[in-house]
Amino acid sequence: MRIDRPPLGPAAWQATTAAAALHIGPAGTWLPPVRRLLFPGLDGQGQPGHVALTFDDGPDRASTPRFLDALDALDVRATFFLLGSALAEAPELGRELVARGHEVGLHGWQHRRPWWPGPVRELRELRRAVRTATDVCGARPRWYRPPYGILTGGRWAAAHRLGLRTVLWSAWGRDWVAGASAETIVRTVEHRLEGGGTVLLHDSDRTSAPGSWRATLQALPVLVRNCRQQGLTVGPLRDHGGDDTEPCPL
């Protein structure tokens, strides 16, 4: 039996449209020209003599320890945007990250796209990630980067309520795609990277092509060397400086 639902009235349509705009509107900051021009803090722009090195999707027992060893060899510290669920599975890596001098940020609890508004869920899961990271790593994270770089209204509001600073990136290596190599990663990063930029890489293939982290690991020394040859210091976001106000895309 078919049940006909009454059409939405003007007020209901306005409310629905407003809710959709609040949810998806901030996602426009995924576009580099938009955030570079309007939200430099969200773009990860900092001191012109510094490059912030960041990694997403860990920790991963198969790959993260290799990155920690490589960074030690390069005498570089970085910011790792961890998934809360992954940290709960491998807490010893979270502790090791901090012990080796790296900075912990949050990438949410799970890595999924926000197709539908869910502000209550976003707050609940991000709060869970904050608590896990604080308990495991011994320090409360400062930074948040939404999965896929898609900043919805609910995600921004949750991060803001929990005192997290949201930051995306200025340059990436597209190191998650099948067929990526050390050469393509370096070339892609350096196409957009300038002093004061933030680099996005991945220390895990959890949401990337299988084994893709190996190419990133090979590219890492080249990227650091090239930055240093330009007189740039490579380090974590905590040393990046720049505009310290909270970007608000709502």
Give me the helices (H) in the chain, please.
10-24, 32-38, 64-74, 84-89, 91-99, 119-137, 153-161, 182-192, 213-229
Annotation says 56 is catalytic: yes
Annotation says 191 is catalytic: no
Radius of gyration of the chain (CA): 19
pLDDT the model gives residue 109: 95
Q: With CA atoms as reference, report the closest residue to 127 among 148, 144, 111.
A: 144
Q: 180 exposed, middle or buried (CB, 10 Å; 0-12, 13-18, 19+)?
A: buried
Other Cβ atoms less than 10 A from the Cβ of 38: the count is 13
Q: If you ran DSSP here, which 8-state letter would residue 139 be given? A: S
Distance CA 201, CA 242 (A): 21
pLDDT the model gives residue 245: 55
Is the domain spanning 32-239 CATH 3.20.20.370? The answer is yes
pLDDT the model gives residue 68: 98
Q: With CA atoms as reference, report the closest residue to 38 among 243, 201, 192, 190.
A: 243
- pTM given for the model: 0.86
pLDDT the model gives residue 127: 97
Q: If you ran DSSP here, which 8-state letter would residue 86 be given? A: H
- Residue in 23, 102, 202, 240 annotated catalytic: 202
- Residue in 43, 50, 56, 57 annotated catalytic: 56
pLDDT the model gives residue 12: 38
Sign, CA dihedral 47-53-56-60, equals negative
pLDDT the model gives residue 40: 87
End-to-end CA distance of the chain: 43
CB 203 within 8 A of CB 63: yes
Q: CA angle, 157 as apex, 47 and 144 as ends, to 5°?
A: 40
Q: With CA atoms as reference, report the closest residue to 240 among 53, 30, 98.
A: 53
Where the chain has pLDDT below 50, the residues are: 8, 11-23, 25
Q: With CA atoms as reference, report the closest residue to 172 among 150, 155, 197.
A: 197
Distance CA 46, CA 239 (A): 9
CB 59 within 8 A of CB 90: yes
